[in-house]
A = this chain, B = another copy of it.
Amino acid sequence: MVKLVALYRTPEDTAAFDEHYFSIHAPIVKRWPGLLKLEVSRITGAPIGEPKHHLMAEMYFQDETAMQNALRSPDGKAAARDVMEFAGSLVSMFFAEVKGDQ
């Protein structure tokens, strides 16, 4: 299993961010073909210091091919456009291979 991880730094207006994320962005992501799971986590603190991030979204797929197909799909492109508009300066993304319960 693989996943796309999106980490959002804390925005100036977290309420406006959440409103856009949950009512506009997440519904587009949930339409991605081959998406097995969307796990969204709200960052609440850190063991040391203040966390820099507000939200983490993890999009799970069976394999690399399924993930790339989702990103190239119309809803993949729509989500990319949307994220750049509402959180382009806040988001960092990476691909990961889930090694499971080690």
Chain A residues engaging chain B, CB cutoff 8 angstroms:
2-5, 22, 26, 30, 37-48, 51, 53, 56, 71, 80, 92-102
Contact = CB atoms under 8 A, between A and B. Distances in A.
Contact of A96 (B5, B43, B48, B71): B43
Contacts of A100: 39-40
Contacts of A4: 47
Given A3-B41, A41-B3, A46 B98 contact: no
B53 A94 contact: yes
Dominant SS among interface residues on chain A: strand
Nearest to A47: B93
B99 A42 contact: yes
A56 B96 contact: yes
Contacts of A46: 92-95
A53 B96 CA distance: 10
Contacts of A2: 44
